Amino acid sequence: MILGLIPSEQAGLLLVRFMRRMAEAGDDNLQDWLAGDWPALFANKPATVLPALRELCADRTLDWYIRTNAVDPIVAAAERRGPEALDEALAWVARIDLAKEQAGFGMHFSSEDVTQAYAAGPSFRVPRRNRAAAGKARARRSPKDDGEALRAPGEPEERLGLS
Contacts of 147 (CB under 8 A, 6+ apart): 157, 160, 162
pLDDT digits (tens, 9 = 90+) for 91-121: 888 887 655 555 554 555 566 666 666 665 5
pLDDT at position 104 is: 52
Residue span of the structural domain in which 22 resides: 2-124
The string of pLDDT tens digits covering residues 39-89 is 999 999 999 999 999 999 989 899 888 998 999 999 999 999 999 999 988
Q: Residue 134 — pLDDT band, cuts 50, 70, 90?
A: very low
Is residue 104 included in any domain, yes or no?
yes
Q: Is 132 a domain residue?
A: no
Residue 141 in any domain: the answer is: no
Q: Give me the number of domains the chain comprises.
A: 1
Q: Is residue 131 part of a domain?
A: no
Q: Is 60 within the bounds of a domain?
A: yes
Q: How many CA atoms lie within 13 A of 8 on its CB side?
A: 6
The predicted model gives 122-131 an average pLDDT of: 47
